[in-house]
Amino acid sequence: MKIVRFNGGRIGVVKGENIVDVTDALGVDPAAWPPIAMVNVIADYERKLKNLDVGSLNATIPFASAKLETPVPWPNKVIAFPVNYHKHAVEMNSPDSYRANTQGFFLKPCSSLSGASDPIVLPDLPGREIHHECEIAIVIGKEGRMISEKDAYDHIFGYACLLDIVVRGSEERVMRKAYDTFCPVGPYITTKDEIPDPRAIGMKLWVNDELRQHANTRDLVVDIPGMIAMASSVMTLYPGDIIASGTPEGVGPIVAGDKVRIAIENVGEMTVDVVGNGGGYTPVFVDKRTTVKS
Ligand code: MN
């Protein structure tokens, strides 16, 4: 099932070229704040949406006409893995000891989440490069702590495309990755039953028509069960939590006017516009032409 959030907090199921609007059938109030409806939809999936007779609902709209919003705008957390592909480590000149398996993970603020129809808004930081990172989002479906690798797939709800956007430099990583719209996720969540083999998911990223990144989850340093085991060794994972896998090699700058396209096999595809003039000046990011990169 492909579950989409659209047009001001509505929830839908993608059927071919259309979205079947299940907002009313699930009793969701799209205007409720905080916007936790999708967290509840995920937590109650087996009992509610999975068994809903979506075919009997005639509230459909064309997918192409919908404003696609980030699927889970208010998760408990967004966990992100750095340096999780060896070739990305090489391009960043990371020391051999600096990999996700020895460094662990970081967090991105939930306020950085945006959707497929939202532009990436670049802050005005003269002299600084802002890069794209092509990642897969793993969406948690079942609460758990100290989850074994063997049990990890039981805790996954589904997958989505994720762009981890970052101001390159040596300042605190979380701040460099925290601007609003620096975590586009979408275009919807594809439930795990539609992914034949999560150990071998191919993904690609283009900027305009240039293929920049091309990878497969089989090349991850810490694989998907390993990420869930590591994160849950520290924290309870809740339905709706998002794990960003880490990027493969091929990262590079984006500028206003670019279109970033990400496509993940069996998961989905989205194209996100890049716009400028986002403000956001802070003396922390004054042009330092830093030599240390991450
Ligand atoms: Mn990343």
Give the whole-angstrom CA distance, residue 260 versus residue 80: 20
How far is ligand 1, taken at its centre, from the CA of residue 90, in Å?
A: 15
Q: Tens digits of per-residue pLDDT, 265-280?
A: 999 999 999 999 999 9
pTM metric for this prediction: 0.96
Q: Using one digit for the tens of pLDDT, what is the confidence trace for 167-225? A: 999 999 999 999 999 999 999 999 999 999 999 999 999 999 999 999 999 999 999 99
Q: How far away, in angstroms, is 108 Cα from ligand 1 center?
A: 10
> Above 90 in pLDDT, residue 161?
yes
172 CA → ligand 1 middle, Å: 14
- Would you state the pLDDT for residue 167? 96
Strand partners, 211: 206
Distance (Å) from CA 113 to ligand 1 centroid: 14
- Choose among 248, 250, 262: nearest CA to 212: 250
Q: 84-141: per-residue pLDDT in tens? A: 988 888 888 888 778 889 899 999 999 999 999 999 999 999 999 999 999 999 999 9
Q: How far is CA 234 from CA 79, 86, 150, 252, in A?
A: 12, 24, 17, 32
Alpha carbon of 250 to ligand 1 centroid (Å): 12
Q: Separation of 136 CA from ligand 1 center, angstroms?
A: 10
